[in-house]
Each structure stands twice: as structure tokens, then as C-alpha cells.
Amino acid sequence: MNTKPILALDFPSEQHVFDFLQQFNEPLFVKIGMELYMQEGPDIVRKVKALGHDIFLDLKLHDIPNTVGSAMKGLAKLGVDLVNVHAAGGRPMMEAALEGLEAGTAVGSKRAALIAVTQLTSTTEEQMQREQKIALSLQESVLHYASLTKEAGLNGVVCSVHEAQAIADACGEDFLRVTPGIRLAGGDTHDQKRIATPDGAKHDGSSLIVVGRAVTGAQNPVAAYKQVRELWEA
């Protein structure tokens, strides 16, 4: 899989996306998430793909197994590279997602990698224990979800950099650790709680990093992306 930093296209419209992307003169690995997809629908995926970019379609599906399986079957037809569900949906739901994805992938095409969100990077341990009533440390909860995800046959998880190495040790190097919550040193953390720098992510066991506002909100997004990429690839 492409290992470039995944750029989160968290924009409200297609026009914002095209204005942003035309600043870059190279194929990127981009993420289309809920904000954009809810406004523009599947067409935005087709249009960004037609520009030659690899795509992580981040819709974080979480529903009963039948619904998630059917939705994944449809999403598979978009020909993206990476898709996700919430591990909290349970093992049968994750297995249904995988079945749907396989069923919907065109013969001769490569199936998208399927990963599951463990604990969102905007969640703290204190919040998880108080609101979700999980009587574990955050690290234990994330590791538990990672094991469940692996048992269900998925390709990896979304987690923070702080849990990435422990997951690699428990689930193997090939099991993807996709880590959002990436910031350049001293940057605004916004709503993220478990954050790291691109070089920290590389050092601490991430397979792929997801970067949004540190680049999209920068004065010079191309320069910020270059800086992130250099730190990640150093």
C-alpha cells in the first residue's frame, strides 16, 4: 500500500476540494470522510479517484451486521483503497463488512483494505471510562479491539500513535496501524486528545498517518504537507 501521509479532505464542498488539490502537482493519498461525503455523495469519490489519487473512504460504519455488510458491498464498487468500520460494532458486524466488501469488489480488482476504529483519537482514558463504562485502561481497550478486529479477519485498525507499537507487537507488523491525531510540533491540537508528530508516529509504530488541519489549515498547505512528509519519511 501507498505509505504517503493520508491527507484528510475535510471540506464542505467539491469546489473546496478541487481548489485545494490543484495546489499539488503529484498523486496523493487522500481521505474522504463524513463531512464531504454527506454533502457530495459517491460522485466525489469517483471524481477524486479520476484525478489519480489513492483514497481512504472514512465512513466509520457502525450498525447491525446485515446493514453494514450491504453498505460495504455498495462502497466496494467505488474502487477505493482503504475503508473503515467501528470495532465497537462487534465481531459479527466486522465479518459482515468483510464479506460485503469481498462480494462487491469487481473480479480482477484489488479489494480495499478494511480497518476498524478502536478508540477515537479525540477520546481520553478518563472520558472512555466515565462515558463508555469500560473498566480498562485506554491502552487495554484499544488492544482488545485490535485483537477482536484481527480475529474478524480485517487488515488493521485506526488508533493513536500511543497504542501503535503495542498493537504491532500483539497483532504483527503486517496488521495496519493507521494513526490520525498528527500535528507538527507546537501546532494547535483542536479537538484531538491523543496526538503525535509525524516523526513520533514513524518512531512509535504507525503504518500510515492521517493529517488534516495541520496541512489544510496552514498558510501554505503545500509547504506544510512537504514538512509532514519529510518528517514521516526521514
Ligand X SMILES: O=C(O)c1cc(=O)[nH]c(=O)n1[C@@H]1O[C@H](COP(=O)(O)O)[C@@H](O)[C@H]1O
Binding mask 14-33 for ligand X (x = CB under 6 A): -------------------x
Task: State the DSSP H helix or E strand holding residue 208, giving kind and residue range, or none if neither.
Answer: strand 208-211
Contact flag: residue 121 with ligand X (CB under 6 A): yes
Measured CA to CA, the distance from residue 142 to residue 155 in angstroms comes to 15
The stretch near ligand X (CB under 6 A) out of 15-23, 92-100, 169-177, 205-213 is 205-213
Report the residue count for the chain. 234
Of the CA atoms within 13 Å of residue 142, those in its CB half-sphere come to 28
| Residue carrying C-alpha cell 451486521 | 65
Q: Which of 60, 77, 150, 226 is catalytic?
A: 60
* Cα 142 to Cα 147: distance, rounded to the nearest angstrom: 9
Place of cell 460485503: 100
H or E segment to which residue 177 belongs: strand 176-179
- Identify which of residues 6 and 96 has a Cβ nearer to ligand X in the complex: 6
Q: How far apart are the C-alpha atoms of 8 and 225, rounded to whole Å?
A: 11
Q: Is the CB of 181 or the CB of 198 nearer to ligand X?
A: 181
Contact yes or no for 203/179 (Cβ under 8 A): no
Residues 128-157 that bind ligand X (CB under 6 A): none
State which of residues 5, 7, 10, 80 lies at the interface with ligand X (CB under 6 A): 10
Among 141, 149, 155, 192, binds ligand X (CB under 6 A): 192
- Answer for which of 5, 7, 8, 229 binds ligand X (CB under 6 A) is 8
73 in active site: no
Size of the site for ligand X (CB under 6 A): 20
Name residues whose C-beta falls within 8 Å of residue 16's C-beta, 6 or more positions apart in sequence.
none
Catalytic residues: 60
Annotated binding site for substrate: 10, 31, 58-67, 121, 183, 192, 212-213
**Rule CB under 6 A: which residues touch ligand X?**
8, 10, 33, 58, 60, 84, 117, 120-121, 158, 180-182, 190, 192, 210-214
